[in-house]
Structure 1
Amino acid sequence: MFSAEGWTKSFRSQPNGNQCVEWNDAGSAVGLRDSNHPDGPVLAMDATQWAAFQDAVLSRTVNQ
């Protein structure tokens, strides 16, 4: 579903490698993964879910 070259690392990812996240917009779905484990699980969501996730992160309402 997600192409290998379509992953983009967050500009907020830490340089020491502890907190790295990447996303991949495949059109019908967006994937989110830990860039330290690219062969690991991918959280897939549709555009509405991705927008809600971004809003929650930007408003800091995601539980930490």
Structure 2
Amino acid sequence: MDSERVWFKSSYSGGSGTECVEVANLHAVVGVRDSKRPEGASISVRVAAWAEFVSALRL
């Protein structure tokens, strides 16, 4: 299932191998995984919950 998703690294990632999170827009949910272990587990969260999380980080 993960191979069908299009994953994006954060625009804040440095590109030097230190990235830690990738996300995939799955319309109803947002997929989240560790970019250093893409074959590992991923989680899905509701779009509204992800938006609240990201908003809180910006404070």
* TM superposition score category, shorter chain reference: 0.7 to 0.9
Provide, for residues 2-53 of structure 1, a one-character-per-residue CA deviation record: whole Å limited to 9, x for no partner: 524x101111113331233210011111011111100112121011111111
SS at match of 1:24: strand
Alignment TM-score, normalising by the size of structure 2 = 0.78
The alignment status of 1:57 with 2:54, answered yes or no, reads no
Q: What is the RMSD of the two structures over their aligned residues, measured on CA atoms? A: 1.7
Runs of 4+ residues over 3 Å off in structure 1: none
Amino acid at match of 2:35: S
Structure 2: give runs of 5+ residues left out of the alignment: none
CA distance in 2, matches of 1:15, 1:48: 28
Are the aligned partners of 1:29 and 1:47 in contact in 2 as well (CA < 8 Å)?
Answer: yes
Unpaired segments ≥5 residues, structure 1: 60-64
Aligned positions, number: 58
TM, length-normalised to structure 1: 0.73
- Matched residues, percent identical? 34
1:15 — aligned with what?
Answer: 15
